[in-house]
Amino acid sequence: MRLLLSYLILISLVILSCSVSDKAESTIALKNPSPITENDYISAPFQKITNPAFAQEYANKWVRCKANFSTQVNMVIDLPAEYKTNYVRISCGVGTVTSLNILIPKDKSDLVFELTYGDKIELFGHLTPISTHSVLSGAGQSNLLFIVEKLVLLEKGKEVSESELKEVLNALQKEKKN
């Protein structure tokens, strides 16, 4: 019981140790007018804009990328204040762990509620830098928000039956043993 309590306290401290400044370093409306056509966006692989080694190359740019939808994310505690209420947060990247915050303005988010895990989508948006600050270490770091202006469903993900899922899991376990 004490061990469980210790873990809960540790997790709480980690969550509370990261806070985000209330101001984004750039404002989309003033500095970066929206592209006129879809061709004005820079095409980039989703894996590249979410990889820390490459992500900053796309900061303050209008980008389009294809990704697999994972889920809608209801937690907004770590977002700057101006992005907490009028945006819908999603997660993308089947098989990819990413910390990229993908936000869609509420008035452009209807499609999100029709998407299911694995659906192939195309995102058109702006990668906006924000500063974060760690309460425990005092260190700051730069992160990006992907503010989506347009979301397109390219292909519905395949419905996977329970038996197909078990087959895949068994194959992965066998491969891991070898």
The per-residue pLDDT for range 75-98, each reduced to its tens digit, is 877 788 888 889 999 999 866 666
Question: Taken in order 43, 46, 51, 56, is the CA torsion positive or negative?
Answer: positive
Q: pTM for this one?
A: 0.67
Q: Is residue 9 part of a domain?
A: no
Q: Which domain holds residue 96?
A: 23-161
CB neighbour class for 39 (10 Å; exposed up to 12, middle 13-18, buried from 19): exposed
Q: Is residue 174 part of a domain?
A: no
In this structure, what CATH number is given to the domain that contains residue 51?
A: 2.40.50.140
Inform me whether the pLDDT recorded for 158 exceeds 70.
yes
Contact assessment for residue 40 and residue 62, using Cβ atoms and an 8 Å cutoff: yes
Q: Is residue 177 part of a domain?
A: no
Whole-number Å distance between alpha carbons of 18 and 101: 15
Q: Which two tokens stand for residue 77?
A: 């505690």
Q: Is residue 103 part of a domain?
A: yes
Q: DSSP 3-state assignment of 121? A: strand
Counting the structural domains of the chain, the total is 1
CB atoms within 10 A of CB 90: 23
Q: What is the mean pLDDT of residues 22-28?
A: 37
Q: Following DSSP, what letter does each residue of 71-96 receive, concatenated?
A: EEE---TTS-GGGSSSEEEEEE-TT-
